[in-house]
Amino acid sequence: MDTVFMEVSSAARESHKAQKILQEQRKAAKPHSQILADAKRVWALARQKNIPTSERQKHVRDLMNTIRGKVKEIVFKHDASRIIQTVVKYGGPAEKNAVAEELKGKYRELAQNRYSKFLVTKLIRSCPSHRASILLEFHGHVLKLLLHGEASSVLADAFELYANAYERSILLREFYGKETALFTSTNMTEAEKEKAKKGLVGVLEGADKERRRRTLASLKEALVSIFNNPDKGAVTHAIVHRALWEYLASVNESPEEAEREKIRREIFESCQDIIPEMVHTKDGSRAVREFLAQGSAKERKQILKAFKLHIERMCLDDEAQQVLFTAIDVIDDTKLVQKNIVAQMTESASALVSTPQGRRALFYLLVPRTRRHFTPAQIAFLAETDKARSTTSKKDSEVRTSEIRSFASEGLLSWVAKKGPEVSRDPGGSLVVTEIMLFADGDKSPAIQTLLAAISIPYPSLDASLPHPIDLPHTSRLYKTLLQGGHFNHNTKSVHKATSWDALNFATQLADSIEKEVVLAMCLKGEKNGTFVIAELCGALAVEGSTTAGSTEARKRLKDWFDSDVKKQIASEDGKGKQVLLDSLERL
């Protein structure tokens, strides 16, 4: 029995050995098998993680010398593609440019391969001197490549992340039709390149009416072919959004209003279902904003319906939120805006307040386009649709803004009443709370009580890990701003009072809710931020001609607390703001 087992085992070993020999023979018979075998040995050294840079560079040079002259032949092999990517990733300019040079004529084919497409993107990024020639290899096939499962991302990344204005024009010119694409080459003069950088505007410069018609027709046909294939993913790419925006901008130049409206409506109908896919890029945002500004009430309603599931995500995106702002600016049916946009924004306040983009979205509901929170560039960008709004919207912009603010106020004030103390501990959150309290409409009593309770706790904090709100500079600034009744204007050197905020009432309630020990401790202990807040409290109560029975009693109480002994103690302190406080106390 043992003899039989040994014979079977020996036969199995011999069979396995024979199979291994046959496998090695077949591998050796394949083209470039020896080059690949040598390259893999060096590649194993070059791609090690924890080796000195100098040693890695030596291995990369050896690897490049191993594959030099054969890059084009081996690049389509899965394992070889990874080897070449390592050369491009870790190599110097000489190695990268050598690879780029050898692959000339193969880039379109490489971009369509699931493995080598990453190599093309790396070379576009790493070899600026070869970028234009690489992109020119796509010329004549751009639209097909955009709808290709693998190549689409290569063109998208090249256009959006790496290409300059001229290189982008290489990819865009095919949208304008064969007549325009025919004149794209590596031999363009500098003047021709400068004209190409202008995109469609440059193409249409000096064009007669018939050529203009042919160019726009070709552009529309290209766009519709992409919009009709949303599953291919090209509808999300910036290159497509640029082409769409150029089309809409050129249509607006048409002298005939009926023709402009017809063309714009046709392109809108071809892409209305995929509009949410376009709002995340600058040109896509501009195109959708144009649809909103120029569209009919029905079209605007369709756009809002498409946004229904994306509002919070759009608020957190720099470009997409501009579309929401334009919708707020141009749609006359503010109840529709309230239902589809404003309500979802206020419900998402806790999520939005944590990012600059989200806070900006909340600000737009109350103080749109204010220079405190919006840059001149952002304001100018939003103003681009104002001219169109003046002809397509009937409601006065001030009335629309007031209605939106009124809709948003209830939800935002309710949110402050629940989350105010927690949110105001964050620097950005304190800005949002300030604007809500100053500019929201409606009953602010619950929110005021929440903020007063937060500041009226014993001072200093008994928990060292949780400072008293007044010791946080941004939170103390919140209370100071509310007490002074508005924001300080550095141009006029005065406080710009908020008409929907009663600073005297807030000061009176603060004086009624806070204990003497807490007030004096704020002025004599801790970080001394409280000194400025109490000084502002005194100033608010002492405003001439603005007294009530409650404020008079509060003034008297504070005056009694700060007797001559306390004032002497304050004067002897070294803390900031003591003179400001003493001056305010004199006014009581």
pLDDT digits (tens, 9 = 90+) for 305-315: 999 999 999 99
CA 418 – CA 412 distance, rounded (Å): 10
Q: What is the mean pLDDT of residues 223-241?
A: 94
pLDDT score recorded for residue 78: 73
Question: What element of type H or E holds 429?
Answer: helix 427-439
If you average pLDDT over residues 25-31, what whole number do you get?
47
Average pLDDT over residues 295-311: 94
pLDDT value at 23 more than 60: no
Share of the chain above pLDDT 70, in %: 92
For the residues 237-254, what does the mean pLDDT come to?
A: 94
Of the ranges 94-103, 199-208, 419-428, which one carries the lowest mean pLDDT score?
199-208
Q: What is the pLDDT of residues 41-53, one digit of tens each?
A: 988 998 888 899 8
DSSP string computed for 322-353: HHHHHHHHH-S-HHHHIIIIIHHHHHTHHHHT
Q: Give the contacts of 79 (CB within 8 A, at least 6 positions apart).
A: 36, 40
**Domain stops at, among 129, 162, 177:** 129
In a domain, 361, yes or no: no
Whole-number pLDDT of residue 423: 97
Which of 129, 154, 173 is the last residue before a domain boundary?
129
Name residue 476's amino acid: S
Selection from 487, 488, 493, 581 nearest residue 542 by Cα: 581
**pLDDT category, 180, cuts 50, 70, 90?**
confident
Q: Answer whether residue 412 is part of any domain.
A: no
Question: What is the number of other CB atoms lying within 10 angstroms of the CB of residue 573?
Answer: 15
pLDDT level of residue 195 (50, 70, 90 thresholds) = confident
Domain count within the chain? 2
Q: Is residue 561 in a domain?
A: yes
What is the percent of the chain with per-residue pLDDT over 90, rounded to a whole number?
Answer: 63
Residues 6+ apart with CB under 8 A from 264: 248, 251, 291, 294
pLDDT above 90 (res 6):
no
| Per-range mean pLDDT, top range of 181-190, 245-254, 333-342, 533-542 | 333-342
In a domain, 170, yes or no: no
pLDDT value of position 182:
67
Find the range with the poorest average confidence among 116-120, 235-239, 244-248, 354-358. 116-120
Residue 303 neighbours by CB distance under 10 Å: 22
The residues pairing with 424 across neighbouring beta strands, listed in sequence order, are none
Residue 576 lies in a domain: yes
CA dist 40 and 51 (Å) reads 18
pLDDT score, position 25: 46
Q: Which of 506, 514, 446 is nearest to 480 (CA)?
A: 506
Residue of higher predicted confidence among 425 and 194? 425
Q: How far, in Å, CA of 398 to CA of 17, rounded?
A: 87
Domain presence at residue 565: yes
* pLDDT (average), residues 92-107: 94
Global pTM reads 0.87
456 phi/psi in degrees, rounded to 5 = -90, 5
- Give the pLDDT band (50/70/90) at residue 5: very low
- Let me know if residue 389 belongs to a domain: no
Identify whether 502 is part of a domain.
Answer: yes
pLDDT band at residue 12 using 50, 70 and 90 as cut-offs:
low
| Residue 28 confidence class, pLDDT cut points 50, 70, 90 | very low
Three-class HEC string of 97-154: HHHHHHCCCCHHHHHCCCCCHHHHHHHHHHCHHHHHHHHHCCCCCHHHHHCCCCHHHH
Length of the chain: 588
Average model confidence (pLDDT) across the chain: 89
pLDDT at residue 552, as a whole number: 85
Q: Residue 414: CB partners within 8 Å, gap ≥ 6?
A: 446
Check if the beta carbon of residue 321 is closer than 8 Å to that of residue 357.
yes
pLDDT at res. 27? 47
What are the C-alpha distances in Å from 87 to residues 32, 113, 120, 158?
18, 19, 13, 20
Find tokens 């190409």 and name the residue: 196
**Domain final residue pick, 109, 129, 149:** 129
The confidence score (pLDDT) of residue 548 equals: 75
pLDDT band at 34 (very low <50, low <70, confident <90, very high): confident
Mean pLDDT of 435-445: 97
Quick one: which H or E segment has residue 487?
strand 486-489
Residues 6+ apart with CB under 8 A from 514: 452, 455, 456
**Phi and psi (nearest 5°) for 488?**
-75, 130
CA nearest neighbour of 239 among 300, 298, 157, 331: 157
221 backbone dihedrals φ, ψ, rounded to 5° = -60, -40
Domain with 531 in it: 456-588
* Measured distance CA(549)–CA(534) in Å, rounded: 20
